[in-house]
């Protein structure tokens, strides 16, 4: 890599932002995620302030049988006794599909994010620490957090490969 260029989140993030409003339904969110082939969507209020993150990981958790939510010391592999009937999954989908995404956001205490200036090694560590494959990119304006993009493991991979290709072409 060029010695004068430091790879940061800003250089590889997706800034063409797709976002949800807190009042959008879970069905709306799934439709948008499916149509745009994304796994996570930031949720922003009317002023553009970051409210939280809604994604496929959260959605799959919502579709789990209620018995699976309180496992205690057991793991998900201990749930072989639960029925896996399509009707029951459909019933759970019906229960949540028209509810607003604000009811199901990832908890802020657990939510990991980065800034546009996050250096590449720190970004790798944050993605590794995160349970999701993408992170919201946040800037703080006063007391408000604004989401300016998303960065995914795929963006990191493309950043590394494209950086090498460009540098090898210049050599």
Enumerate long-range contacts of 155-160, CB under 8 Å, 24 or more apart. 155/12, 155/13, 155/14, 156/12, 156/120, 156/123, 156/124, 156/127, 158/12, 159/7, 159/11, 159/12, 159/120
Lowest mean pLDDT across 70-84, 95-109, 133-147: 70-84
pLDDT exceeds cutoff 90 at 92: no
| Res 25 pLDDT > 70 | yes
Residue 86: band (very low, low, confident or very high) from pLDDT cuts 50, 70, 90: very low
pTM of the model: 0.76
Predicted local distance difference test score (pLDDT) of residue 103: 92
Q: How far apart are CA 84 and CA 65, in angstroms?
A: 9
pLDDT-derived band at 10 (thresholds 50, 70, 90) equals very high
Mean predicted confidence (pLDDT) in 103-120: 86
pLDDT in tens, 37-47: 999 999 999 99
Give me the percent of the chain exceeding a pLDDT of 90. Answer: 39
The segment with the largest mean pLDDT, out of 57-71, 77-91, 141-155, is 141-155
pLDDT digits 0-9 by tens, 67-85: 555 555 555 555 555 555 5
What dihedral do alpha carbons 143, 146, 152, 156 form, nearest 10°? Answer: -80
* pLDDT tier, 88 (very low <50, low <70, confident <90, very high otherwise): low
CATH superfamily of 9-170: CBS-domain (3.10.580.10)
């Amino acid at each position: 890599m060029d010695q004068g260029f430091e790879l940061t989140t800003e250089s590889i993030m997706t800034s063409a932002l797709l976002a949800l409003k807190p009042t959008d339904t879970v069905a709306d969110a799934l439709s948008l995620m499916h149509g745009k082939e994304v796994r996570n969507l930031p949720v922003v209020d009317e002023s553009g302030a970051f409210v939280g993150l809604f994604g496929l990981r959260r959605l799959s958790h919502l579709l789990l049988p209620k018995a699976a939510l309180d496992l205690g010391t057991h793991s998900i592999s201990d749930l072989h006794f639960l029925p896996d009937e399509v009707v029951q999954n459909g019933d759970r989908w019906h229960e949540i599909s028209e509810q607003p995404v604000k009811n199901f956001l990832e908890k802020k205490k657990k939510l990991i994010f980065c800034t546009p200036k996050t250096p590449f090694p720190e970004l790798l560590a944050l993605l590794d620490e995160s349970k999701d494959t993408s992170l919201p990119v946040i800037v703080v304006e006063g007391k408000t957090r604004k989401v300016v993009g998303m960065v995914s493991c795929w963006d990191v991979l493309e950043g590394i490969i494209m950086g090498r290709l460009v540098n090898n072409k210049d050599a």
